Structure 1
């Protein structure tokens, strides 16, 4: 029997301090060569165990083997020059020094498949793997070759599809595409963003998800959120088209956000990963707070389609905080499971 309200995380979990600088995005590795490979695998095992001890149902690698959710994938592609960097505005929010697309982009070898096989060997639970989505990839680069966001997105979609098919073959149950850019470029999302995402999932038999959040709890994101007013209706622009898309699961930010919960009704029929843990604060949610977020979501999402989750990745948080938040997610979900089974 399939578990009701299966819990999962949006993706990243904090890395151990022996592997990388804690609470830091883009933190450089503290190990090298063979020691780094071994260290990443050890961190993956630890991350998996922490999820299991917290009672998380759909587990992940906690993104322990990658420095950053977008650039680590791009580093493995041809046509992108990491030496030749330019400053660009990321998601209209903050400036970053990013690599340049200098030629046709292509993928010679798989990027995460060996890591996914390693995770698969460690557990019999369902596993989820995150990849950057095409639109978020183009927003994290300077394009000096295609000079067209749409053209480059289609090229990335093809490459992501190759990777996704190999991840599926390695035993991944859910492949998630991270698209925080979907909360910013609404016209592009509707014009070609969702279409490129569907190209990335073409031919997959495993479940697919798109994670659309308001970002990590870093200052640039929290400052931006303050400009969004009392109601965050960004999702309203793109939900109708996502509801009609071939993506199986939509992953969203709900707890402590100003997203009107009734917007979930626009996704009726889709599975929804409901973010019930705020990643922008070190305050640990109580199980009752988690349960309350889930109860609100259940007014608009059928119980068999609701997946309790975190709002976003937890890389910038202290490990003890992330761990406690995972336990709260499970405990809060248990409260609602019991209510549903009465």
Structure 2
């Protein structure tokens, strides 16, 4: 008999219990015991939901207080020396220090997890490997097994993925791997001795391009793990894409007991299975429902896929499962009671995915007749949706079809625009600015919540917002910031705010998905053609600019980020959806310019995360992604300055695309990498202006003037000082005012010192 399995469950809690507990602990409002109890309750609720749904193989150790990669770092004792000795067990304060930093101690670098909107903490391999320094996997296995009444399936991030996702490899990779393996050997031995039957070892790096040498590391690692006495059986799990010919042959030859494959993201795994078959001594984990998007599975098509798989693999060696962890989905679509019925019926969040997995497992085991009612109900949902008039908007379709090359480029080259903009703005050297958002205080959040609930009238609410904007403009002027922002007090999220005002989007009430740590977002859902019924930001931007003679940036979220941070419709290409969003933003940009806004920032922090995992597919993606940005930004006069912001990207990978955006000014993450990311811009001879972030807004600390000045000096050694802007790494929404303002004051002072230093040097 086939078995049902999941790879991981959402861990923030159905009502964001994790966020409240962790942030209360950070604030000193609860102690460690209370935080641990909150974690147990979240885990136990997740196991109960999966057991009630009928899942056979339920994962454990998929929960985390911050990040699963950080958990793996602690498991193997890969603790950078700046956080102190690992000892026998990493303490909770040390754990969070690695995630968030501490006074005088920078956090681990934060970057995108493959092509998702999740962020992970990057392992540092110049640290010594201390061996097992966390008992978490063993404690959670015992906890889950006691609750379920049968062994749970522990989940570990695999040694090769941990290695290849890291940085600061000071020795050959094979040596680093040898340093990691003793901890994995001991972890498998301990799990086996305590009753684990299977362990899921995740190796997602295998769906990206891998060299022969890297695949040799994989072989060496699993030959070592296979020799462990009393170990559980190993399910080597891949996701987010497919293997290729080379990695297929290497993975199928590994001494593991099962291989998990994603059959949703691309057709390649299906093609490889049909071409090569599957080893007779392994279980196949068949990911046949989408773990990353919210649309219901077409059960007939999914069952046909399983039946095809069963031609190559005996049914009793098949696990039916999602394509990846359900970490990327909200908890339960049944909580969404305000959505149009025909759209709501199409949604499948994590709990609905469990139902689909169990239904498909029964259909594979017992035949279609056993699930005929479920198949008919599923088909009816899609029939109703196809008839919905909410999906298609003919004027948008016609406008898209009428685009020409002129719509994708500015009227003059950058050199011409830059000269006009210098005369218009007359900014000093090292001009200072911020990325956009300012702290969302309890008063701001309360006012917005009361307004949304109908407890605060429009006039009173917008009067409150104007007061916040006016106070912010005054404070920015007082501390000497050169280019101001209005603070985005009216926005709860940089994508959600626009999605609420654009047709073709819907926004959920409870659709929270973890981004990193305690941070979660509610990705909007794109279900139909996107268009803008009215201006979205013009009034607040015009008001903010009326309060000052300094430039105030108009703030928009770019089309590629809107796309990548949303759940996207599947009946239209991602390129065309991006172009639809870009056209809506193009209208907004023109209206901002007409309202007197001379600088307009179109943020694209998600540009790189949309890169396909296979390099051969990059050019196609980057071509339409760049064109989408240019479509949104190119309808303005030369004197209007277009900015963009990007954070936590490997800029070497996309430097040509960043150049091709043709933005006049970009701001980027830089502080955690200590300036190393700027080398990409030097190598490219990047000609435009750039603001390398001078302090990390994700750490609860105030950087000193000297620390910021040091980063600026490094930047000025790499790039022309006349190119450089001075700004934080990212928006300040999540920081407290008592952190944000001293940091900005120090930033302005560091910029002043840099001006004096540079002017003294040149004359």
TM-score when normalising by structure 2 = 0.40
Offset of 1:324 from its aligned partner? 0.8
Q: What is the match of residue 212 of structure 1?
A: 646
State the partner residue of 2:689: 271
Larger mean CA deviation between 76-85 and 102-111 belongs to 76-85
SS of residue paired to 2:442: coil
- Does 1:194 pair with 2:626? yes
Cα displacement (A) at 1:162: 0.4
Cα deviation, residue 275, structure 1: 0.8
Q: Which residue of 2 aligns with 1:172?
A: 597
Asked if 1:8 corresponds to 2:433, the answer is yes
Offset of 1:89 from its aligned partner? 8.1
Deviations 1:186-223 (A, max 9, x none): 33652321111011112212111120102xxxxxxxxx
CA contact (8 A) 2:642 2:663 kept: yes
Find the aligned partners of 1:128 and 1:3 in 2 and give their Cα distance. 17
1:98, CA displacement in angstroms?
3.2
* Match in the other structure for 1:98: 523
Shift of residue 278, structure 1, vs aligned partner: 1.1
Which protein is bigger by CA-based radius of gyration? 2
CA RMSD of aligned residues (A): 2.4
For 1:281, the equivalent position in structure 2 comes to 699
Counterpart of 1:217?
none
Alignment partner, residue 80 of structure 1: 505
Query: Higher strand fraction: Structure 1 or Structure 2?
Result: 1
Shift of 1:295: 1.2
Give 1:262's match in structure 2, choosing from 668, 675, 679. Answer: 679
| 2:714 match | 296
Which residue number in structure 2 is paired with residue 226 of structure 1?
A: none
Separation in 2 of the partners of 1:35 and 1:242? 42
Three-state SS of the structure 2 residue aligned to 1:142 is coil
Shift of 1:316: 0.7
Distance in 2 separating the partners of 1:245 and 1:101: 24
Choose from 251, 276, 279 the match for 2:667: 251
Considering fraction of residues, name the structure with more helix: 2
SS of aligned partner of 1:20? helix
1:55-94 CA-to-partner distances (Å, cap 9, x unmatched) read 1100000111212111101111112223598677879xx9
Q: Name the structure 2 match of 1:160.
A: 585
Does 2:676 correspond to 1:242? no
Structure 2 portions without partners, runs of 5+: 1-425, 612-617
Contact 1:264 1:297 in 2 (8 A): no
- Decide whether the 8 Å contact of 1:130 with 1:177 is kept in 2: yes
- 1:49 alignment counterpart: 474
How many pairs are equivalent? 318
Deviation at 1:306, TM superposition (A): 0.9
Does the aligned pair in 2 maintain the 1:308–1:329 contact within 8 Å? yes
Q: How far did residue 267 of structure 1 move?
A: 5.1
184-193 or 10-19, larger mean C-alpha shift: 184-193
Q: How far did 1:244 drift?
A: 3.8
Query: Distance between the aligned counterparts of 2:745 and 2:493, measured in 1?
Result: 25
Displacement of 1:28 in angstroms is: 4.8
**Alpha carbons of structure 1 residues 146 and 162: separation in structure 2 relative to 1, 3 Å:** farther
For residues 301 and 251 of structure 1, the distance between their equivalents in structure 2, rounded to whole angstroms, comes to 14
TM-score by length of 1: 0.86
After TM superposition, give the deviation of residue 115 of structure 1 in Å. Answer: 0.6
Query: Matches of 1:131 and 1:287 in 2, distance apart?
Result: 30
Partners of 2:499 and 2:507 within 8 A in 1:
no
Instruction: Write out per-residue CA displacement over residues 292-335 of structure 1, whole angstroms, 9 at most, x where no aligned residue.
Output: 11111112322222110110001111111111111011011111
| Structure 1 residues 258 and 274, CA gap change in structure 2 (3 angstroms) | closer
2:564 equivalent to 1:139 = yes
Deviates more, 1:326-335 or 1:257-266: 257-266
Using the TM superposition, give the Cα deviation of residue 134 of structure 1 relative to its aligned residue in structure 2, in angstroms. 0.8
Deviations 1:210-244 (A, max 9, x none): 20102xxxxxxxxxxxxxxxxx7x10111123224
Structure 1 stretches lacking a partner, 5+ long: 22-26, 215-231
Q: Say yes or no: does 1:316 pair with 2:734.
A: yes
Deviates more, 1:158-167 or 1:8-17: 8-17
Contact 1:85–1:98, Cα closer than 8 Å, also in 2: no
Q: 1:302 to 1:320 in 2, by over 3 A?
A: same
